[in-house]
């Protein structure tokens, strides 16, 4: 099994970390994300073995930064079109979430994990 997943470094996050992380996740209709240990425990509970969890953030950094850059560039248009009723709340939150995702990443509140595991 190979899974690529957003992963938080711990629970709870220090300071306003929880608020910042959830300000991204909730815009994308994601209630929360697991910690590294939670992923490991759930995989073990499901009967997986030889579980590996690696931080692949460096391989996704450019794409994440580009998404942030594009979202920031068009934020003014999003607010205008949302305010006029041409964009839905979901579309509006998608733009805001893209900006907040990168902000949370820059503050070390999550990383892009690749998880591998096998069944006996």
Number of separate domains in the chain: 1
Answer whether 115's CB lies under 8 Å from 46's CB.
no
| Rounded CA Rg of the chain | 17
How many residues can be counted in the chain? 120
65-120 pLDDT, tens digit per residue, is 999 999 999 999 999 999 999 999 999 999 999 999 999 999 999 999 999 999 98
11-57 pLDDT, tens digit per residue, is 999 999 999 999 999 999 999 999 999 999 999 999 999 999 999 99
| pLDDT of res. 120 | 87
Domain that holds residue 28: 2-118
> CB-based contacts of 86: which residues, under 8 Å, 6+ apart?
none
* Bridge partners, residue 8, by sequence: 35
Q: What CATH number is associated with residue 25?
A: 3.40.50.150
What's the pTM?
0.89
């Amino acid at each position: 099994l190979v899974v690529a997943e957003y992963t938080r470094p711990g629970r709870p996050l220090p300071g306003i970390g929880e608020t910042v992380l959830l300000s991204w996740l909730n815009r994308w209709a994601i209630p929360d994300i697991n910690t590294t240990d939670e992923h490991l425990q759930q995989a073990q509970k499901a009967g997986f073995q030889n579980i590996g969890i690696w931080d692949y953030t460096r391989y996704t950094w450019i794409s994440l930064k580009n998404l942030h850059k594009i979202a920031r560039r068009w934020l003014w248009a999003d607010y205008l079109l949302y305010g006029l009723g041409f964009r839905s709340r979901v579309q509006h939150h998608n733009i805001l979430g893209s900006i907040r995702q990168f902000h949370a990443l820059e503050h070390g509140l999550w990383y892009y994990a690749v998880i591998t595991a096998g069944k006996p």
